[in-house]
Each structure stands twice: as structure tokens, then as C-alpha cells.
């Protein structure tokens, strides 16, 4: 079966100017495929997080070109990029970044309500399904701040999934979790990639986590080394 390219970079480079001009990323070109569980590894300062934020479309100051779903992303307007993220990209960070005033359910629903594709009731239904999949349906109506760290991370995964994005980007998704919760998160990612055909791009320094993924891209000094 021919693999479909979801995300592609062409010679991406980036400089940091503070305190000195310094090239953090140099000529990064790779492709990510549909249904692939991809990890980015590398030492601290290797530029892997920087690369992830360029891929996420949030960082727009770089050279080279970024394609998502064969469409050129580089050079798009900020508001257009926000809409692209809303529709195509889900995010999971080391910290959950849930809105503390809202219930878990509302936190998950917000990106979908923003998308505006489904009615409020339909979105609520979908949010319950995601929570059920992640095994925390019973926590749905609790405020996000009342949950344990592992549960909060699962809520944030549910939030990343709500709009059925093509790509889910993660920055150290297990960096703050114990081994039990790490396992849950890993299994969930496997399921998302292999059963639902969504692409996962995760930055991690957890070697076991990376080894168990489909493919690992290693960065060193801003270059792909493996």
C-alpha cells in the first residue's frame, strides 16, 4: 500500500538572534505519512522542539517550505493558520494547558465549537465518546483543575482529538507522567495512529517511548542525523 504524505518539509532552516545569531535548524527535509507514529528525538538544544513549533504553524519565522496535506503553509496569514490548526492539528503538551474554569467536557468541546461544523449537542456527544475511549468518562463534568495529572493529560489528548485532525503534535507528552500513565498515553497514541489513521508527531527524550514508535527522527545541532 502506498503511503500518503500528510506533512512535508523542504529545507527548513531557522535562526535565533538572541543573544547571538545562531542557526538552530539547518536544511530539515522529511515527510510524515498518514497513520504514522513518528517521534522526534535529540539532545536538549538539538532543535527538536523548535522544529515541532514550526510544523505546528505557530512559529512562522523560518526559511524553507512546509506543506500539510499537499497545501503550502509557509507564508499564509495568521488567521488562516489558526483555522488550519483548528481543523487539521491537535496538540498535546508536557503540561495539560486545560482551562481551569471549565469542566473537562467543555475543555474538550471548545475547539470543536470553534470549528462550528457540528451542533452543540453533536459536539457534546463526540466529546463523551473521546472521554469514553480514554477511560475517563466519569470525570466529564468535574472542573479540569480537580483531576490528577494523568487524567488531565488524557483530557488534553481528548481535546486534541475532538476535531479529528490529520496530525497530532506532542511536545514531551509523557514528560510529566509516571510509568503507568505513560503506558496509557503511549497505547492511546498507537491506537490513534494505527486504528484511526491519524499521524502523530511527538517530541520526546524518553528513549523507550521513541523506540516503540513507528519511526524516529533524530536531530543533532539542528540537522537530521537519523
Partner 1 sequence: MKTGVNTEIALTHILTRKRQTIVAALGVTIGIAIYITMNTLIIGTNRYSDNAIFKTTPHVRIYKEDEISKPLEKDSAKIKSTVIINPKISNISKNLINPVKLLDEIKRQPEVTSAAEMVNANVFYNNGKSQLNGVGWGINIVEANAMFDIQSTMVAGDLRTLLNTPNGIIIGVGIADKLSLKMNDNISVISSIGVIKLLKVVGLFKTSNLATDKGKSYMNLATAQQLLGQGPSYVTDIYVNIKDPEQAPAYGKVLSKLTGYSFEDWKAANELFVAGKKIRAIMFTVISWAILLVAAFGIYNIVNMTISQKMNDIAILKATGFSGGDVVKIFVMEAMVMGIIGTILGFLMAALLTNLLSHIYIGADIGYFPIQFELPVSLTGVGVGILVTFGAGFIPARKAAKVDPVAIFRK
From 20-28, 54-62, 194-202, 210-218, span contacting partner 1 (CB under 8 A): 54-62
Residues 108, 131 contacting (CB under 8 angstroms):
yes
Please pick, from the candidates 59, 122, 132, 208, the single residue that binds partner 1 as defined by CB under 8 A. Answer: 59
From 25-33, 95-103, 203-211, 218-226, span contacting partner 1 (CB under 8 A): 95-103
Q: How far is CA 214 from CA 38, 130, 194, 211, in A?
A: 6, 23, 10, 8
Return the closest-CA partner of residue 225 out of 49, 10, 28. 28
User: Is 22 one of the binding residues for partner 1 (CB under 8 A)?
Assistant: no
Q: How far is CA 158 from CA 39, 96, 97, 204, 217, in A?
A: 20, 11, 13, 20, 26
The grid coordinates listed for 210 are: 521513541
Between CA 115 and CA 99 the distance in angstroms is 18
User: Is 187 one of the binding residues for partner 1 (CB under 8 A)?
Assistant: no
Give the position of cell 488562516: 80
User: Is 97 one of the binding residues for partner 1 (CB under 8 A)?
Assistant: yes
Of residues 67 and 102, the one with the C-beta less far from partner 1 = 102
Please pick, from the candidates 47, 111, 150, 173, the single residue that binds partner 1 as defined by CB under 8 A. Answer: 111
User: Is 11 one of the binding residues for partner 1 (CB under 8 A)?
Assistant: no
Of residues 23 and 87, the one with the C-beta less far from partner 1 = 87
Of residues 113 and 212, the one with the C-beta less far from partner 1 = 113
Residue 26 CB, nearest approach to partner 1 (Å): 19
Mark 62-91 with x for binding to partner 1 (rule: CB under 8 A) and - for no binding. ----------------xx--xx-xxx---x
Q: What is the DSSP letter of 146?
A: G
Residues 204, 43 contacting (CB under 8 angstroms):
no
Residue 110 CB, nearest approach to partner 1 (Å): 6
User: Is 113 one of the binding residues for partner 1 (CB under 8 A)?
Assistant: yes
Residues 96, 156 contacting (CB under 8 angstroms):
yes
Of residues 22 and 97, the one with the C-beta less far from partner 1 = 97
Non-local CB neighbours of 149 within 8 Å, separated by 6+ positions? 96, 176, 177, 181
- Which residues lie near partner 1 (CB under 8 A)? 49, 53, 56, 58-59, 78-79, 82-83, 85-87, 91, 93, 97-102, 106, 110-111, 113-116, 119-120, 159, 171
Amino acid at each position: 500500500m502506498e503511503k500518503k504524505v500528510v506533512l512535508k518539509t523542504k529545507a527548513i532552516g531557522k535562526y535565533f538572534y538572541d543573544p547571538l545569531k545562531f542557526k538552530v535548524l539547518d536544511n530539515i527535509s522529511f515527510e510524515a505519512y498518514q497513520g504514522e507514529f513518528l517521534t522526534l528525538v535529540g539532545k536538549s538544544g538539538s532543535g527538536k522542539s523548535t522544529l515541532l513549533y514550526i510544523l505546528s504553524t505557530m512559529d512562522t519565522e523560518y526559511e524553507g517550505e512546509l506543506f500539510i496535506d499537499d497545501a503550502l503553509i509557509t507564508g499564509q496569514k495568521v488567521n488562516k493558520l489558526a483555522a488550519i490548526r483548528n481543523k487539521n492539528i491537535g496538540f498535546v503538551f508536557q503540561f495539560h494547558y486545560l482551562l481551569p474554569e471549565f469542566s473537562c467536557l467543555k475543555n474538550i468541546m471548545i475547539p470543536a465549537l470553534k470549528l462550528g461544523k457540528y451542533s452543540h449537542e453533536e459536539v457534546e456527544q463526540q466529546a463523551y465518546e473521546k472521554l469514553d475511549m480514554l477511560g475517563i468518562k466519569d470525570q466529564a463534568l468535574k472542573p479540569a483543575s480537580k483531576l490528577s495529572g494523568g487524567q488531565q493529560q488524557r483530557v488534553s489528548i481528548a481535546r486534541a482529538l475532538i476535531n479529528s485532525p490529520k496530525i497530532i503534535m506532542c511536545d514531551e507528552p509523557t514528560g510529566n507522567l509516571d510509568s503507568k500513565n505513560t503506558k496509557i498515553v503511549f497505547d492511546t497514541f498507537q491506537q490513534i495512529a494505527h486504528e484511526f489513521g491519524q499521524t502523530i508527531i511527538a517530541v520526546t527524550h524518553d528513549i523507550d517511548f521513541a523506540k516503540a514508535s513507528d519511526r524516529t527522527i533524530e536531530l543533532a545541532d539542528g540537522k537530521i542525523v537519523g
